[in-house]
């Protein structure tokens, strides 16, 4: 256990400060992904049931007023179903950008080592490592989040359309 901790800390140090930002953003992104998955497993059916009951309890469902109530119910349900998806998609977008920031800061370290130590191979290697590790980490985090965000987006679109179809205008 201690060895794993040391290996993680060593890896994070090789990637520089930007790698910590990527790790934090990835943790936040996956926390929101798991929250959306938990929502669909536990709370979604209750939302649909309650909204459907509000609609079914209406005496009439054909007037302009009823149509507005239906649109409001669909809009509110859509907002709840969507939840943190836009933030997840933002995190997916930010991960590779932070990786590029790590590339720039790592290359600055390489150029600094070249200027101060005349191209010492050891110090240049540390800077190259600091440049490539965040790029790789940002891309991996982004790809993993992209797969999950695509799955959640499809689920959200399906559930909103299903709910829209479920609230009929008859009566």
- Model pLDDT, residue 84: 96
DSSP 140: H
* Least confident interval from 56-65, 68-77, 150-159: 56-65
Query: Tokens 């290996």, residue?
Result: 7
C-alpha count within 13 angstroms, C-beta hemisphere, residue 63: 6
CB 129 within 8 A of CB 14: yes
Q: What is the pTM of this model?
A: 0.85
* Start-to-end CA span in the chain (Å): 65
What percent of the chain is predicted at pLDDT more than 70? 96
């Amino acid at each position: 256990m201690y060895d794993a901790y040391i290996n993680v800390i060593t890896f994070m140090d090789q990637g520089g400060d930007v790698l910590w930002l990527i790790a934090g953003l990835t943790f936040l992104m996956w926390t929101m992904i798991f929250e959306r998955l938990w929502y669909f497993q536990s709370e979604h059916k209750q939302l649909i049931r309650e909204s459907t009951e509000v609609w079914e309890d209406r005496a009439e469902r054909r007037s302009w007023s009823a149509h507005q109530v239906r649109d409001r119910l669909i809009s509110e349900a859509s907002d709840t179903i969507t939840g943190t998806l836009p933030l997840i998609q933002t995190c997916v977008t930010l991960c590779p950008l932070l990786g590029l920031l790590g590339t720039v800061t790592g290359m600055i370290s390489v150029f600094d080592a070249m200027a101060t130590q005349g191209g010492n191979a050891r110090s240049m290697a540390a800077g190259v490592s600091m440049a490539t590790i965040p790029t790789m980490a940002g891309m991996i985090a982004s790809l993993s989040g992209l797969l999950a965000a695509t799955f959640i987006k499809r689920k959200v679109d399906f559930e909103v359309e299903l709910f829209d179809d479920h609230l009929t205008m008859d009566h």
